[in-house]
């Protein structure tokens, strides 16, 4: 079952809790003149996610499908979405489009670091963040008009948690990282460039963090990311 919550005006969080994984898979639908889906979900969840999106927009109107990095939950169902939505175009960073574009059934639009594109009333900035959360191709989207940062796997939390909270996510994120024996050991690498990239994200002053696994956060996004830096440095 997909739970749908509007976490920011016309930004819908679509969430499926997996008992097998013990955490949620969240996709985000931005309803605008040119609707945008962030994260496709894996193929196994396509039918549930597509029905949820169809309850919000006409699937034939879906214009953009974006994702942070090449992984099943982020973009595994891309071709299913491209098939069901003939006007849709995938959009991701220049590395992702060049290195992994071959798997998509239609060309992928590539974005440079800091490139901005509009979907109507919303405006998205692409931030290249190699190896953050992971993968050479990784990047994040920031919606500038409402200051929403789509964080992908950053701030991952386990459990079937609330859609949106004003409480700090950091303790829950720590739990995921600290489980160093499990599959999430070395989940998010900390490189020489990580702090600088996170500071750049903090300086965007996000008001909402749209998190892929777990609750989204509303509040002082800058402080939340600064806390994240400290936690990641200690891991």
227 near Fe ion, judged by CB under 5 A: no
What residues between 151 and 180 interact with Fe ion by CB under 5 A? Answer: 153
Binding to Fe ion (CB under 5 A) within 185-214 occurs at 212
Peptide bond into 67 cis (omega under 30): no
Among 73, 137, 143, 227, indicate the residue that binds Fe ion (CB under 5 A). Answer: 73
Residue with Cβ nearer Fe ion (8 or 153):
153
Site string for Fe ion, 19-58 (x = CB under 5 A): ----------------------------------------
Burial (CB count within 10 angstroms: exposed 0-12, middle 13-18, buried 19+), residue 174 = middle
Task: Give whichever of 8 and 71 is closer to Fe ion, judged by the CB atom.
Answer: 71
3-state SS assignment for residue 79: helix
What are the residues whose beta carbons fall under 8 Å from the beta carbon of 181, sequence distance 6 or more?
none
The DSSP secondary-structure symbol of 197 reads H
Query: Could you tell me which residues come within 8 angstroms of residue 90 by beta carbon, excluding any fewer than 6 positions away?
Result: 64, 65, 66, 67, 75, 78, 82, 97, 104, 106, 108, 109
Q: Which is nearer to Fe ion, 71 or 227 (CB)?
A: 71
Nearer to Fe ion, 32 or 71 (CB): 71
- If the CB atoms of residues 25 and 126 are measured against Fe ion, the closer one turns out to be 25
At a CB cut-off of 8 Å and minimum separation 6, what does 99 contact? 70, 136, 137
| Distance in Å, CB of 72 to Fe ion, minimum | 9
Kindly tell me the burial class for residue 183, based on how many C-beta atoms sit within 10 Å of its own C-beta (0-12, 13-18, 19 or more): exposed
The stretch among 54-62, 70-78, 121-129, 137-145 that binds Fe ion (CB under 5 A) is 70-78
Query: Which of 8, 32, 71, 143 is close enough to bind Fe ion by CB under 5 A?
Result: 71
* Beta strand pairing call for 148-152 and 164-165: unpaired
> In this complex, which beta carbon is closest to Fe ion, that of residue 32 or of residue 73?
73
In whole angstroms, give the CA distance from residue 124 to residue 73: 21
> Which residues form the interface with Fe ion (CB under 5 A)?
71, 73, 153, 212
């Amino acid at each position: 079952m997909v739970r749908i919550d509007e976490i920011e005006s016309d930004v819908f969080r679509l969430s499926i809790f997996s008992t097998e994984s013990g955490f949620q898979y969240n996709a985000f639908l931005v309803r605008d003149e040119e609707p945008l889906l962030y994260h496709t979900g894996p193929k196994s969840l396509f039918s549930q996610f597509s029905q949820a999106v169809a309850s919000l927009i006409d699937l034939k109107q879906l214009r953009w499908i974006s994702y942070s990095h090449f992984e099943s939950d982020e973009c595994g169902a891309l071709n299913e979405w491209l098939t069901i939505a003939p006007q849709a175009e995938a959009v991701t960073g220049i590395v992702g489009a060049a290195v992994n574009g071959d798997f998509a059934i239609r060309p992928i639009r590539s974005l440079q670091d800091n490139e901005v594109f509009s979907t109507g009333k919303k405006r998205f900035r692409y931030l290249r963040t190699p190896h953050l959360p992971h993968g050479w191709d990784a990047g994040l989207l920031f919606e500038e008009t409402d200051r929403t940062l789509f964080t992908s796997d950053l701030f991952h939390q386990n459990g079937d948690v609330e859609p949106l909270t004003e409480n700090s996510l950091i303790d829950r994120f720590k739990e995921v990282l600290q489980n160093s024996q499990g599959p999430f050991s070395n989940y998010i690498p900390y490189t020489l460039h990580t702090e600088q990239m996170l500071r750049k994200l903090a300086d965007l002053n996000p008001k909402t963090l749209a998190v892929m696994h777990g609750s989204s956060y509303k509040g002082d996004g800058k402080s939340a990311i600064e806390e994240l830096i400290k936690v990641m440095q200690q891991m």
